[in-house]
Amino acid sequence: MTLAGNVAIDGRALWNDIIETARFGGTPKGGVRRLTLTGEDRQVRDWFVATTTALGCSVHHDSMGNQFARLPGTDDSLPPITIGSHLDTQPTGGKFDGIIGVLGGIAVLRALRESGHSTRHPIEIINWTNEEGSRFAPAMLSSGVFAGVFTEAEAMAKTDRDGVRFGDALDAIGYRGEEMCGQHPTSAYFELHIEQGPILEAEDKTIGIVTGVQGMRWYEATITGRDSHAGTTPMPMRADALLVAAQIIIAVNEVALAHAPDGLGTVGLVENRPNSRNVVPGEVFLTLEFRHPDDTVLDAMEADFRTRLEALCADAPVTVDWARTWDSPAVHFDPACVEAVRQAAESFGYPAREIVSGAGHDAAYMAKITPTAMIFVPCAGGLSHNEEESATEADIAAGANVLLRAVLATDARLAG
């Protein structure tokens, strides 16, 4: 145990929670497949309810399925200080992405409960629905509704690749609540997360003091050519959609490299149709994204890609329909909350550095409506969204220590 004043974080109990929750959707390779609004998601949500209720919390969920576990404060009329992240994973996800933000929050509640320490503000842990966006795009869908970025109606109408509606999937696991999403006050928001990148590990830092989140844009494209026989269609007469898709993938990479070192470009999903070994592909669907800390550079990257795409289409016997499906501008976190994280790391003597998040997080939307900050801890090799994702018990406990002390400092500051 490590003391924060008279409050103790139990790092071993936190680690045991990580191992226990990895059972829900656990894979043979040691990772986790827990897609949002599936049976596995329902199981871990049920665990969240049971665990936080046992700590003396009241628990409810809103109309988007977001879960809230509340430990009362001495002045329970005050808006809560919130701690959150998500319990859903990628199709081949790891044990740590997202969930340590929820479990770290539970560790804070456990520390407060066991020490008898009372905060003036209520403390709430939030599990956000569909943070990953791997089943229902875009990512951070429910925190986006909470912050007013998306309407609930458009979120409920989202469909997965099998045509299942978000609203129907939410009803199927029994987690649609009566409180309207967004009708829930907050005083501040903190999120603990693995870095999902290599910087902290490479620099031997224990804590990342996250100052903001880089901008990111998602797009979808459909390339339409013509199915034809692979053995009888001469090369000059082909309308090969997959060939053009390959050129688009190269163009995305070239755009990112042209805006180095911070520009990033990725094609993450490709569906080739009819996907037969002896048919020239007639249609390809793909997703692509660009990221950069500066929104003006993102504008330039999008314009650069558009120019390259127009040149490709001019010379190819196919049509390309593409559209931006998600735009998350760069975010700058609240200076006072960031400073609370900085001072907490310093008080423990943890090696720390400022860092901008390259990945999207629910904190990016929460920052629009409440003072927000994030805490990063290292992950091995910077690897995430992978079954081999790994972080150490000591680093996660350190992150929870910083989370605890930053929350207590914020409670004292706001009470003062």
323 plus 284 within the same structural domain:
yes
Shared domain for 128 and 221, answered yes or no, is no
Do 30 and 387 form a contact (C-beta atoms < 8 A)? yes
**Same structural domain for residues 162 and 16?**
yes
Domain CATH for 314: 3.30.70.360
| Closest CA relative to residue 194, chosen from 93, 66, 90, 99 | 99
Q: Are residues 299 and 173 in the same domain?
A: no
Give the tokens for residue 106. Answer: 């539970």
The answer for residues whose C-beta is within 8 angstroms of residue 318's C-beta and 6 or more apart is: 223, 224, 225, 239, 240, 241, 244
On whether both 384 and 298 belong to a single domain, the answer is: no
Number of domains in the chain: 2
Asked if residue 166 and residue 266 are part of one domain, the reply reads: no
Last residue of a domain, one of 328, 352, 377: 328
Q: Give the CATH number for residue 113.
A: 3.40.630.10
Instruction: Per-residue pLDDT tens, the chain, 416 aa: give them.
Output: 444 467 879 999 999 999 999 999 999 999 999 999 999 999 999 999 999 999 999 999 999 999 999 999 999 999 999 999 999 999 999 999 999 999 999 999 999 999 999 999 999 999 999 999 999 999 999 999 999 999 999 999 999 999 999 999 999 999 999 999 999 999 999 999 999 999 999 999 999 999 999 999 999 999 999 999 999 999 999 999 999 999 999 999 999 999 999 999 999 999 999 999 999 999 999 999 999 999 999 999 999 999 999 999 998 999 999 999 989 899 999 999 999 999 999 999 999 999 999 888 999 999 999 999 999 999 999 999 999 999 999 999 999 999 999 999 999 999 87
Among the candidates 271, 302, 328, a domain finishes at 328
Classify burial at 350, counting beta carbons within 10 Å of its beta carbon; exposed 0-12, middle 13-18, buried 19 or more: middle
Summarize the annotated binding site as residue ranges.
86, 97, 132, 193, 385
Domain boundary among 328, 347, 379: 328
* Annotated binding-site ranges for Zn(2+): 86, 97, 132, 193, 385
Could you give the C-alpha distances from 136 to 25, 167, 172, 317, in angstroms and in order? 18, 11, 15, 32
Q: Are residues 41 and 152 in the same domain?
A: yes
Same domain membership, residue 149 and residue 31:
yes
| Residues pairing with 127 in the sheet | 67, 85
Looking at the fold, whether 160 and 253 belong to one and the same domain comes out as no
Same domain? For 249 and 269 the reply is yes
The sign of the CA dihedral 52, 54, 56, 58 is positive
Global confidence as pTM: 0.85
* β-strand pairing of 207-213 with 372-377: antiparallel
> Do both 312 and 197 map to the same domain?
no
- SS3 category, 342: helix
Q: How far is 350 from 404, CA to CA, in rounded Å?
A: 14
d(CA 204, CA 59): 38
Q: Which two tokens stand for residue 285?
A: 């669907």
Domain interval for residue 206 = 2-214+330-415
Verify that 339 and 299 share a domain, yes or no: no
